[in-house]
Chains A and B, each alone.
Chain A
Amino acid sequence: MEQQDVLAVENLDIWRGERCLCRNLSFRVSSGEALQVQGQNGAGKTTLIRVLTGLGRADEGDVLWRGESLRRNGERYRASLAYLGHSNGVKLGLSPRENLTVAGALLDKPSSADIGAILDRVGLHAQADLPCGMLSMGQRRRTGLARLLLSNVRLWFLDEPLASLDVAGVKLLTEMLKAHLNGSGIVIFATHQAIELAPHPVKSVLLDSKA
């Protein structure tokens, strides 16, 4: 935790077809900071987050993690990030517990965290062994959140994390994010609603395709 980790974006241009989603976008986020990506529907928030994770491709510019370009350093970069997208990455045919076991297997270092304890924390104690297809959208989302807790990584990317969460779920998410920031983590999220993360600084990036 002594080390100050920085995710730096330099002169990023993203085009989708004829449309420019961002031009010359640069920002830096360092340990303990959160970044909110803002913009209207269709402004390209999801696209930007996917580019930052390395799933998508930028037309110009570079994303640097700890000073190294993620193009050259893909494997180490992927070992330090967790991503919760629109779709939760939850298999409906598997129970939350099984989903987390698989998610754990896909991690670099097997986390020592106990899956049962994590499921308790996200409020899925009673549903731990039901197939996710039987759970509500909010409970599936919570399974996705549990996956973030399981991963012992520095960078969290969240795309519309509030979607389908109830009041208690939003509170849980806020607490999770604060705890992550306290542990020198970095959170990058796209939402319409603000998430109150004080005292941690929340930077913001506005995507405006007209610009």
Chain B
Amino acid sequence: MSGAANPSANGMGSKTAPYMLILPAILFAFWIIGYPIYDLANMSVHSVNRFGVTTTFNDFNNYSRLFSHQLFVGMLVRTLIWTFGVVVGTIVLSVPVALILNEKFFGRQIARIIIMLPWAVSLTMMAIVWRWSLNGQSGMVNATLYQFGMLQSPIEWLATAGTAFPIEIAVGILVSIPFTVTVFLGGLSSLPSDIFEAARIDGASAWQRFRYLTMPLLKPFLNIVLVLNFIYVFNSFPLIWVMTQGDPANSTDILVTWLYKLAFRYGELGMASALSVVMFLILLALTITYAMLAMRNERRN
């Protein structure tokens, strides 16, 4: 980033050139992303019927109806459980997996490809296959349990929140591992190997090397992965929508699935737009956190 110090680096010469170059991207974003944000914000403070006609300013009635809705708190709590569950689970599993994949062993390339596989397959397909696998009467999960004699009568895995929600979290973890492992692998490969060599010569055990060298050095990557995963998972819609659609009795509903129901099933456009704005603000707060973390990293580097 030495461009400022080096005037000749200004490749295109003209002063307006950089603006012309970024202009299309900015226009695009304002058009397709910016306008909807404005429209949602506007709708959220007006009365609106189910066919989308807005009328009068309604004194934040949409927001008060949203916050006082009997399902709202439950949705929020489940969203937090879902997000923390997936993010924490992903990281706890990804660190050892990345450490293993960073070792040299036979078939490492194949192992890497397999672990990355869920990344290539869409969440929708994953969810469809798992939904079918977990079918109580004919699914392959129960088939496997029967075959090993671990099951006498069918278990309906998706019939109660007690099993359905943890399973959805587990599938969420499964599909989040590839990205997380990738970032950790990138981090591990950037670590200077001579320090580890030195530590080994000094007689540090493997655990000590992990605890006092690897972990602190991976910390910046950990921060990034935490925030990015948090945002992805918070926004994750297809898994739950396909597997249970929030059933039974809203016990697997989270904010995004509820938002979709409010907007497109119930025609509650006022509450839906208010919820969109609330979620946008939550994401914005997370983004700012991320930006601050990233900046701190940059400074350290």
Are chains A and B native binding partners rather than an unrelated pairing? no
